[in-house]
Amino acid sequence: MKLTKEDARAIADALRKAAEAVDKYLDDNYKKISREEYESLYESFHTIQRISSFATTVAVGLALDALTKPAAELKKVIKQAKEKIETLKTIGHVIRVVAGVVDLAASVMARDPNAIVTSVTNLGNLMKETEDV
């Protein structure tokens, strides 16, 4: 079975919601269940959370794999931001785009795929939003 990034994200979200349900159950019923039952459910809650985090990592990895040439695409968006900065006339717009580039640079330095994808998306949105008239 081939897993798409959308499938992995949906699985991660479903697992996170299941963990939240277990956590709520524990909060609502802590006086009604034994200590052993509580500890067992609490450990299961954390296991589901960890697996949800892993599924999120898998989804991000699949999203990055979907980029045919991640380095080339990162260079492209950075070049577009540079060109945008050179043409903007409103200082507020320049500051916003520069902040987006800083965010992307920090994500790359952290080697965090999730942050990189988010930063690229945010930077693209910022460049669209900062059209000088």
Domain boundary among 23, 47, 66: 66
C-alpha span between 84 and 53 (Å, rounded): 35
Segment 87-125, tens digit of pLDDT: 888 888 899 899 999 999 888 877 777 788 889 999 999
Domain boundary among 13, 48, 66: 66
Structure tokens at 34: 């034994």
The model carries a pTM of 0.51
pLDDT at 122: 92
Q: Please indicate, yes or no, whether residues 83 and 33 belong to a single structural domain of this protein.
A: no
10 pLDDT higher than 80 = yes
37: containing domain: 5-66
Q: Please indicate, yes or no, whether residues 77 and 43 belong to a single structural domain of this protein.
A: no
Domain boundary among 66, 86, 119: 66
Q: Please indicate, yes or no, whether residues 16 and 48 belong to a single structural domain of this protein.
A: yes
Number of structural domains the chain divides into:
2
132 pLDDT higher than 70 = no
Segment 56-74, tens digit of pLDDT: 777 777 766 666 567 787 8
For 26, residues 6+ apart whose C-beta sits below 8 A from its C-beta are 38, 41, 42, 45
